[in-house]
Structure 1
């Protein structure tokens, strides 16, 4: 961060203008690349002045970070909703429940999260610009994602359904077997709903084979 970035406070601004700027920037960054996207183009696409874009985000680096963080916040909300829906204590009480619920959670995650335009765009922008984004290392949003899933897995372990002494590690393994596998697929295959569902289901089953408590369901 430059001295100017540190000195200059950013405006919170109006929510609809901020959303328009982020949507415009996300689209242009994906279509043209970050380097080739000008702040003038973002402003024109968003229907605001260039001064407004600078007032809200300061520079293109922080605008890129804003696009990624906005997608991360949305994804975190989705993750919490899906955990509450599929992995709640009253929904998973037996080993058989565990198998069905874990697969349903994984499939829903693939359907809702990995098909979200903002999430897919953010994943691509991170992959293409990671060296320019040191702020993402140990980012609070990434830690929050890990924690939400780890807490759910920890509750299942406490009730004897999972053998997971380290819920954070278990959460990382679940994501590696499901979400990250999909993100590593070519775009054409990520757009194939049946293919994504197979990956998420297979990943959930592999996770259970490793982590289901002895005598539990590994399906």
Structure 2
């Protein structure tokens, strides 16, 4: 028989939901205002929480920024690595396959990861005002991880005699820069024709320097 004093189960996921809301709100504000100009008050308002709640989860703005950029970079990197694996695992026509890869790589950049790449532009614009440890953590979580994945394919193609590559990671960086949507006037609004022209010319330039 129940005593009537049984404790009610606590709702699950409350803290996790608050943390997700904070990170989402912070991504929006940091992507819009940058690291230096973003305020905890603005982040709290965007996330729909109090500033006290933010400080219950994060020590200060720097820790919050580091968490935001690493989480966002992880999602973007995983999307890019999936594109690399899907398009470059097996190639039949190196130039055509690289062009298709470049087009596919631009799609998540222009769609679901728009805020992330806006944040990256903010980081590049004010890198001198952001703690170096935060910048290094972002680089390792995102861009360097993607480059290492791409470098593995370039190394394999060099071994197969398709490319001349002395440093696969540097070659991967060159390829990413040449086909990057950041070369458009604004990646989020670049037309399909602009992206296609940019990717095609970028692949031509890459192969001019690296084709065996």
Into which bin does the TM-score normalised by the smaller protein fall?
A: 0.7 to 0.9
Aligned to 2:211: 212
Runs of 4+ in 1 over 4 A off after TM superposition: none
Distance in structure 2 (CA, Å) of the matches to 1:76 and 1:59: 26
TM-score (norm. length: structure 2): 0.79
Which runs of no fewer than 5 residues in structure 2 stay unpaired? 1-13
Q: Which of the two has higher C-alpha Rg?
A: 2
SS in 2 for 1:160: coil
Aligned 8 A contact 1:157 1:164 in 2: yes
Distance in structure 2 (CA, Å) of the matches to 1:190 and 1:199: 14
SS in 1 for 2:166: coil
Which runs of no fewer than 5 residues in structure 1 stay unpaired? 1-12, 214-219
Distance in structure 1 (CA, Å) of the matches to 2:105 and 2:31: 23
Aligned pairs (5 A) from 1:36-185 = 36-88=37-89, 91-92=90-91, 94=92, 97-115=93-111, 116-133=113-130, 134-135=132-133, 136-137=135-136, 139-141=139-141, 142-179=143-180, 182-185=181-184
> For 1:54-82, what per-residue CA distance to the aligned partner results, in whole angstroms no more than 9, with x for missing partners?
23232112222222222211121012101
Q: How many positions carry a matched residue from both structures?
A: 193
- The alpha-carbon deviation at position 33 of structure 1 amounts to 4.4
* Change over 3 Å in CA distance of 1:184–1:101 after alignment to 2: closer
> For 1:143-200, what per-residue CA distance to the aligned partner results, in whole angstroms no more than 9, with x for missing partners?
2122111112112222222221211111011122122xx325443x752222123212
1:191 to 189, 192, 195: 189
